[in-house]
Amino acid sequence: METGFDTVLKGGRVIDPATGRDGVFDVGVKGGKITAIEPQISAPATETIDATDKVVIAGMIDTHGHIYQHVTGKFGLNPDMVGVRSGVTTIIDQGGPSCMTLGGFRHFLADTSKTRLFCFISAYLVGGLEGHMYPDLYGPIGVNPEHTIRVGRENLDIVRGVKAHAEIGGQSRWGLEVIKVGKQISRDLGLPLYIHLGQLWPSVEEGPVPDPDELIRELVPIMDEGDMLAHPFTRHPGGFVSETGEVHPIVFEAIERGVRVDVGHGSHFSFEVAKKVLDSGIKPFTLGADMHGYNVTVPPEGMQKEVRESNPFFGVAPFNLTVAMTELMTLGMSLNDVVATVTQNPASVLGKSDELGSIAVGRCADISVLEIINGRFKLSDNSGVEVVTDKLVRPVMCLKDGERFDADSPLIPDPVLA
């Protein structure tokens, strides 16, 4: 029997791939938990939120964040700016903390942020310390598997995977030896290995020029079921698409073996490559935004519109997870499939499917509310390619453990009309 609620979300379209629910429902929240999902809730509530014409989904999970603010230099963005203030209730920091810096990540971020935080611990001692500038720090002398395994085991509540890089700049220096160490760490921890694809560093001048296609062929056999390949839509060498313009056959083999694909949008996204990969039948399992201080600009207070208009391409302007969702829909993925990439699927990556990723009675009240605006909107990738879409997904608000956060992050871009 209904006895009253802290919050009721009224009349939204509830989409929950985990349960197959897709329809108009009221959602009642009490004590930080979801306590009712009904066609209509009439019991009183401390706060009633009109969700008419909105989409109500489980709290969004961003599988690729860089939010170890201050410690990782310009890379680290404020976690709540990327998180709850952008309608995202949970973030996985990809490789920011290492065995040497995980304590700070826990104490200063995971224990204090409103956003729920996890991490994939770096396979490298330096973690995410602006490593794109210092490739030598990511070589064999920069890993200590014993220390990383020990720290990972001591912190399995927040460490949910291992991050490593596979790209031709590193391959030209050390082959795949460091990746093999990362795989050893992940196996000993019983956690997935998340691998960056796409060139980061220039190749060394001595020796043969590395073959980007050979990298993916050597890499995939190392991976296990549940491991993740990031940046499938990268415009950089060493990704899913070969130098001849075809998707590597071995990628299909990897997916058949249970290797998962994360978009890892970041500076890597290309509409051309994305269409080619999607048309081949490969769909991303999760949608990580991969925002960091080198690919988004936080505009000064009150200047968001001006910054967006003067810098129209992603990479120098605001961007958020729902823009990436819009892009996948524009490329042909259904709304329900896209919702799964930010709810049900990342919850399974975290090993938290019984807690997160679904709107169900008894779950923690992590809920994201979105609006889908109709019109003509301009999207841009890092190559300068522009695409016009007729729908734009934007965050409205979220509840994290029942606490309300309006989507007011400066990283949410204003719509660019076509």
At 254-279, the pLDDT tens digits run 999 999 999 999 888 899 999 999 99
DSSP code, position 41: -
pLDDT lower than 50: segments of the chain? 1, 312-316
Report pTM: 0.94
- Within a domain: 305: yes
Of 302, 320, 349, the domain-final residue: 349
pLDDT of residue 312: 44
Confirm whether 411 is domain-assigned.
Answer: no
Output the pLDDT for position 314: 38
Q: Within this chain, do residues 177 and 47 fall inside the same structural domain, yes or no?
A: no
CATH number for 33: 2.30.40.10
pLDDT of residue 1: 44
Q: Cα separation of 137 and 131, whole Å?
A: 7
Tell me, yes or no, whether 379 and 264 share the same domain: no
Quick one: 23 and 78 in the same domain? no
Are 18 and 136 found together in one domain? no
Structure confidence at residue 394 (pLDDT)? 97
pLDDT at 133: 79
Q: Are residues 48 and 68 in the same domain?
A: no
- pLDDT score of 108: 97
For residue 213, give its domain range: 59-349
Point out the annotated binding site.
64, 66, 163, 196, 231, 290
State how many domains the chain has. Answer: 2
**Do residues 17 and 154 share a domain?**
no
Token digits for 36?
């009712």
Residues contacting 1, CB < 8 A, separation 6+: none
Residue 262 lies in a domain: yes
Annotated binding site for Zn(2+): 64, 66, 163, 196, 231, 290
- Do 18 and 39 lie in one domain? The reply is yes
